[in-house]
């Protein structure tokens, strides 16, 4: 009985859908002013972009909407999640992601039916253009906040301070965080009491059998 009580009242997990990241500031996608995501040799700027987010508990990324659009021709971009480094910058290596092609006049990027599991911690939503691709990530009207700028291959990241008035690239991440319910403070006493009752019952049964 004591073991059953522990199983019933022990740690439990509660999953609920949540907005993990929203940097859109309520602005709809319109292909407005933005920062380049570009990887065309000899064409400046050669750069990648990333915005940071955090999970307070383990979670699963379900969908990503990023206000990214093509600049010329059919361009492709690899968008996904990078770990955070000790310098609070993207690691340069994707732990989850997809390569997507954006045709002329198309955008934003919508990734659905994802199942990217992440531990609690800080991460980066990063976008890196594939070779010979030129895109932009809409920033006009967004939130003033730090974001990271890397080279055309998604390495050598630096922070762009929001304190300079820069608005960060716009995106939404939806997913599920698993919240663990703490062990109630009175549970050890409850378990002890249940165990004591079980022992008392056993002694009574043993005494009755001896008579």
Q: Is the pLDDT of residue 9 over 80?
A: no
Rounded CA-CA distance 38/53 in Å is 23
Dihedral sign computed on CA atoms, order 70, 72, 76, 80: negative
Q: Are 67 and 171 in contact (CB under 8 A)?
A: yes
Each residue of 159-205: pLDDT tens digit? Answer: 986 555 578 999 999 999 886 555 555 445 545 655 555 555 546 65
pLDDT reported for residue 199: 54
Q: pTM of this prediction?
A: 0.78
Rounded CA-CA distance 64/117 in Å is 14
Q: Is 156 helix (H, G, I), strand (E, B) or coil?
A: coil
Rounded CA-CA distance 195/11 in Å is 19
Q: Indicate the range of 17-21, 61-65, 91-95 predicted with least confidence.
A: 17-21
Tell me what percent of the residues of the chain surpass a pLDDT of 70.
Answer: 74
Task: List 116's β-bridge partners, or say none.
Answer: 61
Both tokens assigned to 16: 């609920």
Dihedral sign computed on CA atoms, order 82, 139, 108, 110: positive
For the chain, the first-to-last Cα distance in angstroms comes to 26
Domain extents in the chain: 22-181
Each residue of 111-148: pLDDT tens digit? Answer: 999 999 999 999 999 999 999 999 999 998 888 888 99
The CATH fold assigned to 22-181 is Jelly Rolls (2.60.120)
């Amino acid at each position: 009985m004591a073991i059953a009580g522990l199983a019933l009242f022990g740690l439990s997990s509660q999953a609920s859908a949540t907005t993990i990241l929203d940097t859109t500031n309520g602005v709809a996608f319109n292909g407005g002013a933005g920062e380049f995501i570009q990887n065309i040799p000899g064409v400046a700027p050669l750069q990648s972009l990333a915005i940071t987010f955090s999970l307070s508990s383990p979670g699963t990324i379900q969908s990503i909407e990023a206000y990214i659009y093509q600049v010329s021709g059919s361009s492709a971009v690899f968008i996904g999640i990078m770990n955070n480094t000790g310098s609070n910058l993207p690691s340069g290596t994707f732990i989850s992601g997809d390569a997507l092609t954006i045709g002329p006049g198309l955008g934003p990027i919508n990734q659905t039916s994802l199942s990217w599991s992440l531990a609690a911690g800080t991460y980066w939503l990063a976008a890196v253009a594939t070779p010979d691709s030129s895109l932009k990530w809409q920033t006009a009207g967004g939130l003033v906040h730090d974001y990271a700028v890397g080279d055309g291959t998604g390495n050598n990241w630096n922070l762009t301070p929001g304190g300079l008035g820069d608005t960060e690239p716009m995106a939404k991440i939806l997913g599920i965080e698993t919240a663990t319910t703490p062990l109630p403070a009175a549970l050890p006493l409850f378990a002890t009491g249940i165990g004591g009752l079980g022992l008392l019952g056993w002694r009574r049964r043993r005494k009755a059998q001896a008579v």
